[in-house]
């Protein structure tokens, strides 16, 4: 793992949009640019989860995970001793580097457009693979190793899903990610969302009346990512 100082100045940057004209990619890049201006380029780690996808987990991954669970809090460095066959070895070789990237990151930046009220499959594949039993738990204290980590999620939604909107109850994106990262031990105030809404207003005729709202939402999102990157 990195030193405490290097963790603070380490950014893990993930994009998961399949769109060639992606608002989340533009916003996450804006955050990353501002972050690099403040901290330099050496700590920035980037992965395009569409161009370089994380393989879905397999039966061997699950078998190894269950064996680890039966042994209590097993740190990643000791998982090798529990591997029983080549398939499990391959799965762990795919998994451990991703876990280490999360552990080393002071900030995790995720570009996550809303697809069908939730997150893209490319992002879900990454989530499934990094969620390995015991990987983020201190085996001595039982406390989360991610309690000081910050997560910034940049979203784009074709409609409006904020508080008080008709579709507020159809947002299975932000509540899901908040619950997920909270379960990993990241503090409530350590997870920030920047939501650009009504992004289909310029494309879909029946949403044209919301173009001003969309432009305002995007402008606010652009300001928000700069502010968050400067903290």
Q: For residue range 140-190, what is the model confidence (pLDDT) as tens digits?
A: 899 999 999 999 999 999 999 999 999 999 999 999 999 999 999 999 999
Judge whether 116 is annotated as a binding position.
yes
Euclidean distance between CA atoms 115 and 101, whole angstroms: 26
Q: Give the per-residue pLDDT at 5.
A: 44
Q: How confident is residue 8, by pLDDT bands cut at 50, 70 and 90?
A: low
Sheet of 44-48: strand order equals 44-48, 11-15, 107-111, 150-156, 191-196
What are 4's two structure tokens? Answer: 């405490």
Judge whether 46 is annotated as a binding position.
no
Residue range(s) defining the domain that contains residue 36: 4-229
Q: How confident is residue 21, by pLDDT bands cut at 50, 70 and 90?
A: confident
Q: What's the total number of domains in the chain? A: 1
Task: For residue 115, give the DSSP letter.
Answer: B
What are 142's two structure tokens? Answer: 């039982």
Judge whether 115 is annotated as a binding position.
yes
Euclidean distance between CA atoms 54 and 98, whole angstroms: 9
Beta-carbon count within 10 A of 202 CB: 12
Judge whether 17 is annotated as a binding position.
yes
What are 148's two structure tokens? Answer: 């000081």
Its pTM stands at 0.93
Judge whether 144 is annotated as a binding position.
no
Q: Is the confidence at residue 35, as pLDDT, over 50?
A: yes
């Amino acid at each position: 793992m990195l030193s405490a100082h290097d963790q603070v100045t380490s950014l893990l940057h993930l994009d998961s949009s399949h769109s060639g004209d992606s608002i989340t990619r533009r916003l996450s890049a804006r955050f990353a640019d501002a972050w690099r201006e403040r901290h330099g380029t050496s700590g920035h780690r980037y992965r395009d989860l569409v161009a370089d996808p994380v393989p879905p987990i397999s039966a061997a991954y699950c078998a190894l995970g269950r064996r680890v669970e039966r042994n209590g809090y097993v740190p990643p460095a000791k998982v090798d001793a529990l591997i029983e066959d080549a398939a499990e070895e391959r799965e762990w070789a795919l998994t451990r580097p991703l876990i280490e990237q999360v552990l080393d990151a002071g900030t995790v930046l995720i570009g996550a457009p809303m697809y069908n009220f939730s997150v893209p499959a490319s992002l879900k594949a990454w989530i499934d693979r990094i969620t390995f039993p015991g990987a983020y738990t201190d085996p001595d204290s039982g406390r989360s190793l991610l309690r000081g980590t910050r997560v910034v999620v940049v979203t784009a939604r074709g409609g409006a899903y904020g508080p008080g909107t008709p579709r507020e109850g159809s947002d299975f994106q932000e509540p899901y990610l908040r619950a997920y990262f909270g379960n990993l031990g990241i503090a409530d105030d350590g997870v920030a969302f920047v939501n650009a809404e009504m992004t289909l207003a310029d494309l879909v005729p029946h949403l044209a009346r919301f173009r001003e709202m969309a432009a305002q939402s995007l402008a606010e999102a652009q300001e928000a990512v700069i502010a968050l990157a400067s903290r």
